[in-house]
Structure formats: C-alpha cells, structure tokens
Copies of this chain bind each other. A is one copy, B any other.
Amino acid sequence: MRLEILPVPGIGHVTEGDDLAALIGTAAPWLRDGDVLVVTSKIISKAEGRLVDVPADGPERDAARDEVLAAESVRVVASRGNTRIVQTRHGFVMASAGIDASNVDKTRLVLLPTDPDASARTLRAGLHQRYGVNVAVIVSDTMGRPWRNGLTDVALGVAGMDAIRDHRGEVDPYGNELVLTQMAVVDELAAAGELIKGKCDQMPVAVIRGYLGAPPAGDGEGATVLVRDASMDLFSLGTAEAKAAGFTAAATLPDRPGDAAPDPALVDRAIATVADVVAPGTLFTPVRDDDVRTGLVATIPGWPTRASALVLCSPPTPVGPVQLVRFGADVQRLRTALAAHGVPSQLLPPPAHTAAAAALAL
C-alpha cells in the first residue's frame, strides 16, 4: 500500500465563469476513480465570481476591506492590532474571514466560496459527467491555529467522502477501547495536497491517489461536520475579549441569592482576593451555616444582622458618608470576587422596621 500526491499543472489563470471541471479534466486526463482532488478554494472563488473591487491602496482600501470583512463575518472572535479572527457565515473561525489579496489583481479581493460543500459537489459531478471519473473533491484553504506558529491547509468543503474517520469503539491490541479518536482526514488530505501545491508555482490542484479504498458511493455529508459549535468550544472568544466580557458581567452582576449554600473554601478565597484592596478595617465575616442561602449583609457596627447572610460586612469606624460610599464599593468588590468563583450573592440592606435602621435613616 502506498499513497501518491500528484500535482495538476497547466490549469493557468481562472476567471469568472470558467468551467473548473473542464479545466481540471483537461489538465489531468489521467484522473482515476477513487482519486481525491484537493482544490485551492481561490480558484473556485474566482470561477464563481466571488471577488469584490477595492481601491489599490490607501485608507480607502482599508475601509473597503473592513466593510467586506464585516459582511463576510457573523461575529468577531478575537482581535489585536490589525488582526481579526472572525467566524464566517459558514461557521469557520479564521483570520480575516479567509479574504485574500494574493494571487489576484491589486484592485480585487477574493472571498471564500459561498458554499464550499456545494462547490465540491458541483465539481465532482462535473468531472463525472464530462470524463466519467468518480472522484472525491476537497476544497482547501490555509489557516493558522492558536498556540502554534505557521499555517496549514485544511478543508472547507468536501464531496465524495466523509470528513471524519471515526475510530471510536475500536479496540487496540492491548484491549483498550478508543474513546476519542475521530480523525479529521479531510484536513490531513488538504495538508498533504498543500505539500506539493506549495512547492510549485501556481499549482491550485493536487491529487491524492490510493487513499480511498473504493470509488465514492455518494457525496457524503460535507465539511460542515468539522465546524464545532461555539457553545461546545472552550475557546469561543479570544482571551482579551473574554476578559472584557468578564468585566462587563461584573459591572452588571445580578443581585440575587443562590440556590444553595456555597463552598466555604470559595468564600474564603473571594475574601482573600479583595483583602488588600478594600479600606483598612473593613471586616468580611463568613457565616457558616449549611442552611443559608447565598447573600450579603452590608452592616455598620451595631446594626442587626440577618441570619440568612453569607458574609457579614462591616465598614471601618468611625463611619461617615465618605466611608459608607467606599464601603459600598468594597462590598461590590467582594461580590465580584465571589462571582469569579461562581458564587452568586445579594447586597442586603439592614433589615427594615428595626430601631437601628430607623435611627440611622437620614
């Protein structure tokens, strides 16, 4: 058994309206059933007319590019300086929504194909119809990834094979069941195709021969199965963006008790977190009672406290209006630190209808 990675030279410049099946089939009359074609998304975009006109340079170009980027994105995942990592309308998370200014006139930008799976199906069908070959087609593009330098090619679309090879449930020779192993083989095939495309000038198509054991039985479900839903992803937002989201959530912290008594260790940790930033003399005293619901009582010395409190808070003495405002800010710091540990809290006033509350009311 061996695999071959073959270049398809002679495709030349592709322009809007070109019949890619004819261009590829003419350039590679040697295609066989079961070959996997890896096709650079850019020539598909060009053939499909996915280009926009922009100024060649200057701030007008930047503005036009920003506008195109916004139109191609459903959300910004992370940004720094000029870098924008966005989720595209397909669901892919990539820099600049895959918009590319290379290998095209200076006054045009190339967008990703609208539906790369459909593009793959169309090309696969065209090759079958014109040349009678039954191949799989992968639409590839270049992506970076967190934590690693350098780019690799991955699959945006596929027709004629499954995107994932699933080893789950298989048992290794030691009797261990494989529980996690789902290989994104179309990404690996796209990467393999890039090895030869990248070595040659203007080589938008590569063929992997020998990978498929048999000619495709159908189109398959496409590459959209590779898109992980943001809610399932541990990195759905950039670190800076998520930190800012944490700040915003802290600013709008809900003011309500939790459903159960919190872990006392977490409460202690929250108190320790703010110990050095609150006014000297401020006291935060956790109430240990398994029955209490999460809450906070902001007290001043001598005020009655509530049995349902989680943390009794007392300002330093003597206490005047200035100190009370600062005390309120410090209690909010504590509530924020509790929230950082997942502990909800409520700012409770001293109980109404008590003599102390009445006496101190201004």
Contacts and interface: CB of A to CB of B under 8 A. Distances in A.
A214 interface: no
Contact of A147 (B167, B185, B192, B227): B227
A63 to B, nearest CB: 19
Interface string A279-322: 00000000000000000001010000000000000000011111
A153 B234 CA distance: 20
B103 A173 contact: yes
A185 B176 contact: no
A171 B99 CA distance: 18
Q: Report how many copies the assembly holds.
A: 2
A333 B1 contact: no
Interface in A234-251: 234-251
Contacts of A318: 362
A178 B101 CA distance: 9
A150 B191 CA distance: 14
A334 B253 CA distance: 11
Interface residues of A, number: 125
A199 to B, nearest CB: 7
Given A242-B243, A321-B361, A188 B153 contact: yes
A117 to B, nearest CB: 15
17 contacts: A85-B234, A102-B174, A103-B173, A104-B176, A145-B146, A150-B185, A151-B180, A188-B194, A191-B192, A241-B242, A251-B274, A251-B336, A319-B362, A324-B325, A329-B329, A329-B331, A332-B336
Given A106-B175, A251-B273, A325-B328, 5 more contacts: A79-B234, A101-B176, A147-B228, A165-B198, A250-B250
